[in-house]
Chains A and B, each alone.
Chain A
Amino acid sequence: MISRRGFLKYGASALATSGLITTTSGKIFAAAGSGSKDTRWAFLIDTHKCTGCGLCVKACKLENEVPMEANATRTWVERYVIKHDGEVVADSPHAGIDGYTRNDPQGREIPESDIAKSYFVPKLCNQCEKPACVQVCPVGATYQTADGVVLVDRTWCIGCGYCIMACPYGARFFHPVFRVAEKCNWCYHRITKGMDTACVEACSFGARMVGNIMDPNDPLTKIIKTERVSLLKEEYGTSPMAYYIGLDTLVR
């Protein structure tokens, strides 16, 4: 039999633990738009606007020198087709690099009358505040910068692959040329020069946006602070920094 004191004590600590997830991402949210001198990069994806053209994936591969023909990519676009009977047909052939030009999810033609809803979801590295991939690196080859971007030191990586397994989002892969772990770094060479990432540059529909969440005048900060946004796999406690608009519950 648990005492009243014990119940309150353990109950409070259990509540605090379950609250950890919200407090860590809440910390950034609280500081967002504070005009802090520290930069914190964040990403915003509006799934309503994505047409599934795949030009972001193409631009990313060219910009970041990931071989076109290799089945490996820093960003990708997923297609979800949900039928009236509840069946979900989702795919991302070649990361969607050639665009979605046919109604053939997983090679099946789904008649228009059967489709309840359908949409595209662009994905990329979330540059988590608490990156699981960094924590498992045994040699210090992958790390978080002061402005929140997770980078990989190609000269230091031993290619053990722990980080690829640790990422809950499947954002990491093995670079076929450099033979080290590779990941999206939100075009660190571009954003640090005040440019947009290559995928944002290539998106015609404004489905992607990158910005400094600490800057109150950044359009990205304004949207995140005022509109309804969500994150992927928040329950993992990694505090992802890629915000989504219009995310369906079955997108993980």
Chain B
Amino acid sequence: MKNHVYRPLFLVIAFVVAVLIAREIVVPEDFGTHEAGYMYGWHRKGNEQEWKDFKVKYQGKDYCKLCHQDKVDKISQTPHVIINCENCHGPAVKMARVDGKIHWKNPTYTKHGEDTFENHIDRTREQCLRCHAKLPYKGSGREWVRGINNTEHNPDMECVMCHNPHSPGFG
């Protein structure tokens, strides 16, 4: 065969070999089809653990109870027992804003720090209205919650000025 055939052929072979070598280096060892099979299972196995190690923020009421048993006892005697503490108090994790980015720290049993904004309590009227704004939506869960007319029921006041969320009503 002539030289003009061999030269591009060598180029192509060199390219294929280069791609194969690069593939061997770039593709991680744990990449392949795993349990979910050929169609849905192609992935880097190590990523599963990376997701499992993702930081947990919401700890749940049982965690809050470890220190705040009295508060949990109090709210447990009211209809508000169904609400997770962290819905108003924020997730029980220390967090800090550094250069505009949120950094999560390990939850601790120690006193809540001052340089952080964790446990930033949402006392706004808007927070209460999420459930307690009366809406004419028959068939939705809102029907079963005692609601107020937002424009008529002391519109300029914060709810917490009269109502204690831990013992709603006038307790």
By a CB distance below 8 angstroms, the chain B residues around A142 are 43
> Would A189 and B41 be within 8 Å (CB), given that A101-B130, A140-B31, A202-B87 are in contact?
no
Q: Are B31 and A118 in contact (CB under 8 A)?
A: no
> Would A156 and B44 be within 8 Å (CB), given that A101-B130, A145-B35, A189-B54 are in contact?
yes
Interface residues of B in 48-83 (CB under 8 A from A): 48, 50-58, 60, 82-83
> Would A118 and B139 be within 8 Å (CB), given that A63-B58, A101-B150 are in contact?
yes
Q: Are B133 and A102 in contact (CB under 8 A)?
A: yes
Stretch at the interface among A29-37, A129-137, A161-169, A222-230: A129-137
Measured CB to CB, the closest approach of chain A to B55, in angstroms, equals 7
Chain B residues near A (Cβ < 8 Å)? 31, 34-36, 39-44, 47-48, 50-58, 60, 82-84, 86-87, 90-91, 102, 126, 129-131, 133, 135-142, 144-145, 150
In this complex, the member of B31, B142, B144 whose beta carbon has the largest number of chain A beta carbons within 10 angstroms is B142
Instruction: Name the contact of B137 in the complex, choosing from A118, A130, A195 (C-beta under 8 A).
Output: A118
CA distance A120 to B140 in the complex (A): 6
Q: Are A117 and B139 in contact (CB under 8 A)?
A: yes
Measured CB to CB, the closest approach of chain B to A245, in angstroms, equals 12
Q: Are A188 and B56 in contact (CB under 8 A)?
A: no
In this complex, the member of A51, A112, A137 whose beta carbon has the largest number of chain B beta carbons within 10 angstroms is A51
In this complex, the member of B31, B52, B87, B130 whose beta carbon has the largest number of chain A beta carbons within 10 angstroms is B130
Question: Is there a chain B Cβ closer than 8 Å to A100's Cβ?
Answer: yes
